[in-house]
């Protein structure tokens, strides 16, 4: 597989490693003013384009249909799971991803169904932002991207790397963009209520999204242990216990 | 916005199902002078989930009736004062005692209202309960999976603390996102350039708006159930 754009990326990763977050800032957001502006832009875009499109899509599709499109999207991301799995030194995961792709593309009718999971081939996601993390790049400050939403410099570089991977295996152009838009609308349609609820229940929606995204992303790539890991919720020695009321209100 | 953040889907459920648990009857070390709970965290969680599931699955009751039954249960399960302190963190001390008291009650109201809305609209099949584990402070975390073939499964962890001889929930973590941590970040932001009184006001306004919305929906449902008696809009 040809991955031309990857050659320059280790250098980018080294550069990013310089952006280490100061201690005690789990949500480091020095670009908040700019980020809030971009966030407002994205919200406006959602209000006028994405949400109405998602409502339309919801009206003409069944939950089963939307789930199938979700499987289709996962299947299309196979090149990312394969290449990044290999780049991260996880050949077994890359192998499972390949077997999944073969099974779901054939038996699963181009990926719209997921017969692989019941066969024990559960999804092994990998992306280039995660690869950069494994190579030692720091996360850097929180960064909201126009159109793409929450990110950070490392994952922004990851997005560029993943685009290069996808670009090297697909013809590109309008068809790819159209599929991406469809997948995004489909995802948004599956979350109409969730997002409405989150907006209504929050006191600062920007911060609620930032906090949730950073948590989710860190857990996803393994920076933070998943809650099912034996020691995930236990503070390490010297660290403040987030559930110690007396310590929490003093500091 | 993009499919990159698709995993964020379930975590924007900022409040959701309380759920049941399975725990080996390990003796929890009671916090301070508190008496140890007479039952395990598992027993508490199993009963809580059973109670709420029974109410939610009883569709002979209307929305107003379901809400009237669920809200007091959730109020009893939550340790509102601990949650208030954990979410306000160091800002707790910038509230005077009366404001602290008001915050505890108003935030509990917010959680209860949000909780009710989320569980009542979420069509789930059942709730699976996994192992639990001991945490610091004598707490237990009970892990659960809300199984919903239609909307997708959601992993929910309950953090329970021994309190006055029983258990109380002090945090709910949905797909890895802790409600306490999420609200803590928000309150820190709101209070960094605002006063406690402002936060209290927006809390009150939010609660009033949410309740008004519920009552509207409940009235609409009641009017639909008795079409002969109430003309539209009456």
User: Quick check: A42 contacting B, CB < 8 Å?
Assistant: yes
**Per residue in A3-20, pLDDT tens?**
444 444 444 444 444 455
Q: What is the pLDDT of residue B3?
A: 39
User: Quick check: A58 contacting B, CB < 8 Å?
Assistant: no
Q: What is the pLDDT of residue B154?
A: 86
Within a domain: A231:
yes
- What is the 8-class DSSP label of residue B143? E
Asked whether the beta carbons of B174 and B16 are under 8 A apart, the reply is: yes
**Per residue in A124-171, pLDDT tens?**
889 999 999 999 999 999 999 999 999 999 999 999 999 888 888 877
For residue A197, which residues of chain B lie inside 8 Å, CB to CB?
A: 12-14, 114, 117-118
Q: Which of A69-73, A245-249, B22-26, B117-121 has the lowest mean pLDDT?
A: B22-26
- What is the 8-class DSSP label of residue A235? P
For residue B100, which residues of chain A lie inside 8 Å, CB to CB?
A: none
Q: What is the pLDDT of residue B30?
A: 41
Cα–Cα distance list, A202 to A17, A206, A237, A249, B99 (Å)? 33, 9, 33, 22, 20
Nearest by CB to residue B189, choosing from A151, A204, A241, is A204
* Length of chain A in terms of residues written: 251
Q: If you average pLDDT over residues A214-231, what whole number do you get? A: 70
Task: List, as one string, the DSSP characters of A171-184.
Answer: --SHHHHHHHHHHH
Within a domain: A173:
yes
Give mean pLDDT in consecutive 10-residue pieces for chain B, a chain of 234 residues.
Answer: 39 34 34 72 88 85 88 91 94 95 95 84 81 86 86 87 91 89 94 91 93 90 72 46
For residue B82, which residues of chain A lie inside 8 Å, CB to CB?
A: 245
Between chains, do A227 and B141 touch, taking CB under 8 Å as contact? yes
Q: What is the pLDDT of residue A237?
A: 53
Q: What is the pLDDT of residue B23?
A: 31
- The dihedrals phi and psi of B139, each to the nearest 5 degrees, come to -75, 160
Within a domain: A139:
yes
Q: What is the pLDDT of residue B2?
A: 42
Token pair of B99, please?
Answer: 């404001």
Within a domain: A193:
yes
Q: What is the pLDDT of residue B15?
A: 34
Q: If you average pLDDT over residues A54-80, what whole number do you get? A: 92
Average pLDDT, chain A: 84
How many domains, chain A? Answer: 1
Within a domain: A191:
yes
Name the E strands within B42-176.
126-134, 140-147, 154-163, 166-174
Instruction: Look at residue B138 and give its three-state secondary structure.
Output: helix
**Residue A36: left if φ>0, alpha if ψ -120 to 50, beta else—which one?**
alpha
Q: What is the pLDDT of residue A147?
A: 93
Between chains, do A149 and B1 touch, taking CB under 8 Å as contact? yes
For residue A45, which residues of chain B lie inside 8 Å, CB to CB?
A: 1
Within a domain: A3:
no
Q: What is the pLDDT of residue A221?
A: 84
Between chains, do B85 and A193 touch, taking CB under 8 Å as contact? no
Within a domain: A196:
yes
Closest CA to A70 of A111, A39, A100: A111
For residue B175, which residues of chain A lie inside 8 Å, CB to CB?
A: 216
| Position A115 pLDDT exceeds 50 | yes
**Per residue in B189-219, pLDDT tens?**
999 988 999 999 999 999 999 999 999 988 9
Q: In 10 A of CB B29, how many CB atoms?
A: 13
Domain carrying residue A244:
11-250
Tokens 């989710």 — which residue?
A216
Within a domain: A1:
no
Q: If you average pLDDT over residues A190-197, what whole number do you get? A: 89
Q: What is the pLDDT of residue A24?
A: 53
Asked whether the beta carbons of B30 and B36 are under 8 A apart, the reply is: yes
Instruction: Tell me the count of A-B CB pairs closer than 8 A.
Output: 160
User: Quick check: A115 contacting B, CB < 8 Å?
Assistant: no
Helix or strand (DSSP H, E) at A195: helix A192-201
């Amino acid at each position: 597989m040809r991955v031309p754009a990857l050659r320059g990326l280790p250098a980018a990763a080294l550069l990013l490693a310089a952006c280490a977050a100061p201690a005690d800032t789990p949500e480091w957001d020095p670009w908040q003013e700019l980020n809030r502006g971009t966030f407002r832009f994205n919200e406006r875009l959602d209000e006028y384009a994405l949400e109405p499109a998602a409502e339309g899509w919801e009206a003409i599709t069944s939950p089963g249909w939307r789930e199938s499109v979700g499987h289709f999207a996962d299947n299309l991301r196979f090149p990312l799971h394969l290449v990044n799995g290999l780049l991260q030194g996880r050949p077994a995961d890359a192998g499972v991803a390949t077997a999944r792709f073969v099974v779901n593309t054939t038996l699963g009718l181009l990926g719209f169904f997921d017969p692989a999971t019941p066969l024990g081939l559960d999804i092994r996601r990998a992306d280039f932002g995660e690869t950069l993390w494994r190579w030692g790049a720091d996360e850097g400050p929180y960064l909201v991207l126009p159109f793409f939403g929450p990110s950070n410099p490392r994952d922004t570089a990851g997005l560029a790397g993943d685009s290069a991977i996808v670009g090297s295996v697909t013809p590109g152009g309008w068809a790819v963009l159209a599929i991406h838009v469809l997948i995004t609308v489909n995802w948004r349609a599956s979350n109409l209520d969730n997002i409405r609820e989150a907006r209504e229940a929050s006191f600062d929606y920007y911060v609620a999204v930032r906090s949730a995204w950073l948590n989710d992303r860190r857990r996803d790539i393994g920076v933070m242990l998943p809650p099912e890991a034996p020691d995930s919720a236990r503070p390490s020695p010297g660290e403040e216990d987030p559930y110690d009321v007396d310590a929490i209100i003093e500091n | 916005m993009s499919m990159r953040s698709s995993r964020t889907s379930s975590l924007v459920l900022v409040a959701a199902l309380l759920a049941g648990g399975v725990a080996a009857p390990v003796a929890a070390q009671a916090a301070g002078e508190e008496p140890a709970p007479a039952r395990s965290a598992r027993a508490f969680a199993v009963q809580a989930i059973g109670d709420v599931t029974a109410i939610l699955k009883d569709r002979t009751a209307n929305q107003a009736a379901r809400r009237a039954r669920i809200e007091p249960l959730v109020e009893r399960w939550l340790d509102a004062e601990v949650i208030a302190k954990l979410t306000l963190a160091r800002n707790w001390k910038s509230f005077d005692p009366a404001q602290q008291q008001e915050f505890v009650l108003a935030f509990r109201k917010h959680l209860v209202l949000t909780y009710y809305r989320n569980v009542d609209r979420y069509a789930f099949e059942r709730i699976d309960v996994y192992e639990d584990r001991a945490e610091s402070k004598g707490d237990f975390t009970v892990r659960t999976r809300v199984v919903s073939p239609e909307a997708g499964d959601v992993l929910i962890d309950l953090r329970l603390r021994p309190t006055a001889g029983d258990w109380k929930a002090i945090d709910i973590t949905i797909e890895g996102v802790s409600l306490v941590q999420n609200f803590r970040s928000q309150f820190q932001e709101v209070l960094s350039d605002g006063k406690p009184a402002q936060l209290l006001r927006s809390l009150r306004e939010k609660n009033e708006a949410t309740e008004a919305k519920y009552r509207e929906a409940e009235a609409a449902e009641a009017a639909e159930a008795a079409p002969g008696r109430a003309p539209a809009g009456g």
